[in-house]
Structures are given as structure tokens and as C-alpha cells.
Amino acid sequence: MPLDERHEPVMVALPFGSGERDHVVRSRHQRAHRPYQYLQVFFAAVADRLVDVSDIVLIGHGRGKGNAAHGLRDYLLQYAPGIAGRIRCDLDVDLSARTPRQLLLIARDALDRERHLHAEAG
């Protein structure tokens, strides 16, 4: 979820049909070697939306390959390192138990904490 002081925050969710059910349908072999293959086009579209965003907070749920936010981070590190460098935090939150508004508040709080820590260190 990009957060930028100049603009309203923008939430980018997984596209319909790319959720947990797709993980189950795909073979274990494919998931083990290319777990985010089906999301590459989506990750590219997200990267396009993040070009002008100064601070990025990733929010996902789960561990390892089950967390698409980790896949986005890995994609950005490989294909858009300049954007990846603007990721301020990567949060693990139970997405099923949160509303979009709650997620925005969680992201803002995390970004405020990051800015405060950097201000104290600098």
C-alpha cells in the first residue's frame, strides 16, 4: 500500500482469482520453483503505480511464499530496485480480520514510527 504525504493513500489488492485457491490448484513443483509466477503481471502494474510514491508500506499475511507482499518485495528488488528502496516497512497483519480503513491506519502508524526512528537516528 503506497503512502505519500502529497497524495491520499492508495490500496492495491490482489486481483480476483489470484488468491489462496490458486495456490492449491497449482502443483507443488511449480509453487516450489516459481511461487509468484501468476502474479508477475499484477506486480508490474503495482510497480507502475508506485513510480511517484515516496514511502511504501507493504502489508501482507502469512509467512514465506504464502505472503504475496513478500512476492511483491522480491519482484521490486529484482525489476525495480529504485522503487524497492522506498519500502519503509513490511507488515504481517491478519488481512481477513481488518477493514481497508484499519489497514490504512496500521500503515500510517507504522510509517510514522519509521519516520520517528529515522529522525532520532539522524
CATH of the domain at 75: 3.30.420
Q: Is the pTM of this model over 0.75?
A: no
pLDDT in tens, 56-97: 999 988 777 778 888 899 999 999 999 999 999 999 998 888
Query: What is the rounded distance in angstroms from the CA atom of residue 36 to the CA atom of residue 74?
Result: 10
In 1-122, which ranges are E strands?
2-3, 55-60, 87-92
Please state the domain count of the chain: 1
Domain of residue 89, residue span: 2-121
Classify residue 89 by its DSSP letter. E
Query: What is the rounded distance in angstroms from the CA atom of residue 108 to the CA atom of residue 94?
Result: 17
Query: What is the rounded distance in angstroms from the CA atom of residue 110 to the CA atom of residue 103?
Result: 11
Within 10 angstroms of residue 41's Cβ, the number of other Cβ atoms is 10
